[in-house]
Copies of this chain bind each other. A is one copy, B any other.
Amino acid sequence: MSDVMHRALDLLRQLPTVGEKTATRLLHYILSAPPEYGRALGRTLAEVVDKVRPCPVCGNLSELEPCELCRDERRDRSLLCVVEKVADLIAIEASGAYRGLYHVLGGVLSPLDGRGPEQLRIRQLLERLPGEFVEVILATGAGVEGEATALYLKQKIEPLGLRVSRIASGVPVGGELEYVDRSTINRALNGRRSMD
Listed in ascending order, the chain A residues whose CB lies under 8 Å from chain B are: 1-5, 7-8, 11-12, 14-17, 22, 24-31, 33, 35, 37-52, 61-64, 68, 85-87, 90
| Residue of B with least CB distance to A3 | B63
**Contact of B22 with A17 in the complex, beta carbons under 8 Å:** yes
The 6 nearest A-B residue pairs measured at CB: A42-B46, A38-B49, A42-B45, A2-B63, A42-B42, A8-B48
**Contact with A35, one of B43, B49, B61, B62 (Cβ below 8 angstroms):** B49
**Contact of B41 with A45 in the complex, beta carbons under 8 Å:** yes
Q: In whole angstroms, what is the CA distance A11 to B43 when docked?
A: 11
Q: In whole angstroms, what is the CA distance A62 to B50 when docked?
A: 30
Q: Which residues of B contact A33 (CB under 8 A)?
A: 14
**Contact of A5 with B49 in the complex, beta carbons under 8 Å:** no
Q: Which residues of B contact A47 (CB under 8 A)?
A: 4, 8, 42
**Contact of A90 with B1 in the complex, beta carbons under 8 Å:** yes
| Residue of B with least CB distance to A14 | B37
**Contact with A25, one of B62, B63, B87 (Cβ below 8 angstroms):** B87
Q: In whole angstroms, what is the CA distance A62 to B61 when docked?
A: 38
**Contact of B8 with A44 in the complex, beta carbons under 8 Å:** yes
**Contact of B63 with A4 in the complex, beta carbons under 8 Å:** yes
A70 → chain B, closest Cβ, in Å?
A: 13
Query: A7, A38, A46: which has the most chain B beta carbons within 10 Å?
Result: A46
**Contact of B17 with A45 in the complex, beta carbons under 8 Å:** no
